[in-house]
Amino acid sequence: MAPSPAALEGLVIPYLERQPWFLVDMARYDRDVWASFKLADLEIIFEGRPGMASVVVTVGDRPFHVLVGWRDPVQTPAALGEHQGAVLGMCDDGAGDVLCYDALADEELATRLLAVASAGAKTANRVRLVHSLVSHASLVYDEYLFMKCYRVLEPAPRPEVELLGKLDEVGFRHLLRPVAHWERNGWDLALVREYAPGAVEGRLLALTSLRDLFGRNLEAESSRHDEVGGAGGDLSSEMRRLGEITGELHLALAEAFGVRALASGDALGTRAIRVHGDYHLRRVFRSDAGWIIGGFGDDPLIGRPTDSLGRRRPRFASPLEDLADMTYALRQVAAEAVAAQPAVMWAQAERLAKSWERRNRGAFLSGYLGVEGISSLVVLERAAAADELRSLVSKRMAAAD
């Protein structure tokens, strides 16, 4: 027992139209909105009640994916809890009226989805909807797996799926490893990965360190902690480790995607590799097992896509570009911490922040350049690399102004 394809299509299209993540300029299409939609794929995943179907609808050439669930209308409000807005509408499933809704809002169905997306390899008892974004929704299962359920589909392999798979293949472990992906009719519908409960954004660690630095130095006369190195919340050892892992990431990317000659105009003394491309303190996470690098697509831990479709184009560039991004991020977070101080403290805080930044930048670069084999990508001596980095960071600052 399940609703008919026509009934599902009829409910999905108006639902899509009112979603904040449905960023399609309908003016580009026919005046007859309905005619521009097409039901491209339908799979009944669970029959009966509650039931679930995977529905793909295209608008022009852009495919959208919605998981539709249905239940007896009386039971539905309880199943949806706080997500009452997920309702699509009523239809008939062959045995009478059912209320259809976005299945991710239904804990029971969302939990059972894991087995579907992993072809039966993984199951869980609980699920937590982390967030719903333009490109995907993120669900965490039993705090050990998470699934990215894509909304805007791309032909497989989706760059994120491909990249993570390849990094995993070449043995790069400082990421949330992919464990399964759900592909159907040439589209990647979902990606299941390991989850690192308790992992914390690098930015928060940086702010913790700065808080301690300012706390000790701006509070009282504290001769013990009059220098950045003496600050209890020193971040430099973490930044050194992050530098090491960044080096390992670049070597892994080079192994997975190859090394190219550098186009002129980029940093000299380096090769071009496929870089991370959006590397900053919100893309790295400290976990109990050390640093984890995220942001290869848009991670559920991050919550912000980079373009309106959440995609990032693979980019070949100097590995120093990633380092410059991270260095710039250190500067930004230091500026943020300074701005959070009372205005009378700014001058003093600024001075401390500068030396904090210098120290952590240095530790990061040392960690990076200390990685065995990194000289195959960055031929420069440390001083030259630091100079080059500085000029790349200046460019970013100029661009930001």
Partner 1 sequence: MHRDFNDPRWFERAVFYELHPRGFFDSNADGIGDLRGLKDKLDYLEWLGIDCVWLLPIYPSPMHDGGYDISDFLTVAPELGNVDDLVAVIEEAHRRGIRIIADLVMNHTSDEHPWFVESRSSRDNDKADWYMWSDDDHRFAGVRVIFCDVEPSNWTFDPVRGQYYYHRFYHQQPDLNYDNPEVADAMLGVVRHWLDLGLDGFRLDAVPYLYKEEGTNCENLPATHKFLRRIRSEIDAVYTNRMLLAEVNQWPDDVIEYFGDGDECHMCFNFPLMPRMFMAIRREQRFPITEILAQTPAIPEGCQWGIFLRNHDELTLEMVTDEERDYMYAEYARDPRMRRNLGIRRRLAPLVDNDRRVAELLHGLLLSLPGSPVLYYGDELLMGDNIYLGDRDGVRTPMQWSPDRNAGFSRADFAQLYLPPLMDPVHGYQAVNVEAEQRDPSSFLHWLRRMLAVRHQYPQFATGSFEVLPADNPSVLAYVRTARDGDRLGAGLACAEFPTEAGVSDFDDVPNLSKAPDLDKAPAAVLCVANLSRFAQPVELSLGRWEGCTPIELLGRVPFPKVSAKTYSVTFAPYGIYWFELVER
Site for partner 1, rule CB under 8 A: 126, 128, 143, 197-200, 204-205, 208-209, 211-212, 215, 224, 229-230, 232-234, 237, 240, 286, 288-290
User: Between residues 223 and 264, which has the closer beta carbon with respect to partner 1?
Assistant: 223
Residue 237 Cβ vs partner 1, minimum distance, rounded to whole Å: 5
Q: How far apart are CA 40 and CA 38, in angstroms?
A: 6
User: Between residues 166 and 225, which has the closer beta carbon with respect to partner 1?
Assistant: 225
User: Between residues 132 and 209, which has the closer beta carbon with respect to partner 1?
Assistant: 209
Residue 82 Cβ vs partner 1, minimum distance, rounded to whole Å: 8
Residue 156 Cβ vs partner 1, minimum distance, rounded to whole Å: 32
Residue 149 Cβ vs partner 1, minimum distance, rounded to whole Å: 18
Give the strands of the sheet with 97-102, arranged side by side.
Answer: 37-46, 51-59, 62-71, 97-102, 87-92
Residue 286 Cβ vs partner 1, minimum distance, rounded to whole Å: 6
User: Between residues 93 and 102, which has the closer beta carbon with respect to partner 1?
Assistant: 102
Residue 350 Cβ vs partner 1, minimum distance, rounded to whole Å: 21
Residue 204 Cβ vs partner 1, minimum distance, rounded to whole Å: 5
Closest CA to 238 of 324, 109, 367: 367
Cβ atoms within 10 Å of 375's Cβ, excluding its own = 11
User: Between residues 184 and 211, which has the closer beta carbon with respect to partner 1?
Assistant: 211
CA dihedral 64, 67, 72, 74 (to 10 degrees): -80
User: Between residues 316 and 368, which has the closer beta carbon with respect to partner 1?
Assistant: 368
Residue 288 Cβ vs partner 1, minimum distance, rounded to whole Å: 4
User: Between residues 244 and 321, which has the closer beta carbon with respect to partner 1?
Assistant: 244
User: Between residues 200 and 262, which has the closer beta carbon with respect to partner 1?
Assistant: 200
